[in-house]
Structure 1
């Protein structure tokens, strides 16, 4: 049976900041703890194709793959899929962002199926994703909330110097 996961986090930061930073794929190694590199292969504004490379796993293996994201800033949704599927038959991810009283609710929904010869089955991958996703979401939350705390308060401007 195919795998399905849903995880979410509330980030206490402005929507525009959360949207911009989490969709800056080239900077993902500074947001996610699991990525060693992110190389943007093509960026059309609403579609980004990129290669992710993970830090070596406990056995020293380095995993890398190409994915593609389609961004809809009007609805604050992103749909993505792996182009190079590796051990997956398919991997589809949907990110949604909703303003809530305390900030931004960011939700990731993942639907996937593992290939028969994959090192883990659908249930095992579901367990891995549900264990790792909260770790990654909380890493992103910490970074973005620290950045948001340093942003100027809305409606405040830095005075400009005027010369006579």
Structure 2
């Protein structure tokens, strides 16, 4: 089995702002609502290995994992995968940035498979990822549009 999610939002801000802010991994805890920390472990060219940690859940558990991300500014895409897979057999992420008249369409595509015995099966995790992606994309949109509006006033 495997699962696939595909979520996007249009952000009314310049491409350079959206690209720079969403690829500044160190600042993700201030951009995303779910991350408590982002630690860069290694950089080589356009590839970054990093550890993300979530805010503690209801029982105090902090989920954390290592991912590797390669950005391609020429095509305005990124490709990532989890190095520490946790409950996933694998997790691949693709981000695409597309300039539209209304702004920048930020698209997140995730392909994954859960390990046997994981807390959720493939469809359950896909539902969770889709629900969370909508929340996080809306938050990123709000924050980046706010930064853009403040810059326009200055």
- Give the TM interval when normalised to the shorter protein: over 0.9
1:65 aligns with 2:65: yes
Q: For residues 23 and 38 of structure 1, do their structure 2 counterparts lie closer, same or farther at Cα, with a shift above 3 Å needed?
A: same
Structure 1: 5+ residue runs without aligned partners?
159-164
Displacement after TM superposition at 1:152 (Å): 4.2
Deviations 1:18-77 (A, max 9, x none): 000000000000011000000011122411110000001122211000001010000000
Provide TM-score, normalisation by structure 2. 0.97
* CA RMSD between the two structures: 1.3
2:152 is the alignment partner of 1:131: no
CA distance in 1, matches of 2:44, 2:140: 24
User: Which protein shows a greater Rg?
Assistant: 1
1:117 offset after TM fit, Å? 1.6
Is 1:47 the counterpart of 2:29 in the alignment?
Answer: no
Map 1:137-156 onto structure 2 (within 5 A): 137-152=137-152
Q: Distance in 2 between matches of 1:5 and 1:152?
A: 35
The corresponding residue for 2:20 is: 20
- The alignment covers a number of residue pairs equal to 154
TM-score, length basis structure 1: 0.91
State the alpha-carbon separation in 1 of the partners of residues 45 and 30 from structure 2: 21
Could you list the runs of 4 or more consecutive aligned residues of structure 1 that deviate by over 3 angstroms after TM superposition? none
CA distance 1:141–1:43, change in 2 (3 Å): same
Mapped to 1, the partners of 2:93 and 2:31 lie a distance apart of 18
Matches within 5 A, 1:68-83: 68-83=68-83
Give unpaired runs (5+ residues) of structure 2: none
CA distance in 1, matches of 2:64, 2:43: 19
Q: Residue by residue, what CA displacement relative to the aligned partner does 1:120-143 show, whole Å, maximum 9, x if unpaired?
A: 100100010011001000111111
Alignment of 1:25-40 (within 5 A): 25-40=25-40
Distance (whole Å) between structure 1 residues aligned to residue 135 and residue 61 of structure 2: 21
2-structure distance, mates of 1:10, 1:86: 31
Q: Which has the higher helix share?
A: 2
Query: Deviations 1:96-131 (Å, cap 9, x if unpaired)?
Result: 000001110000000000000211100100010011
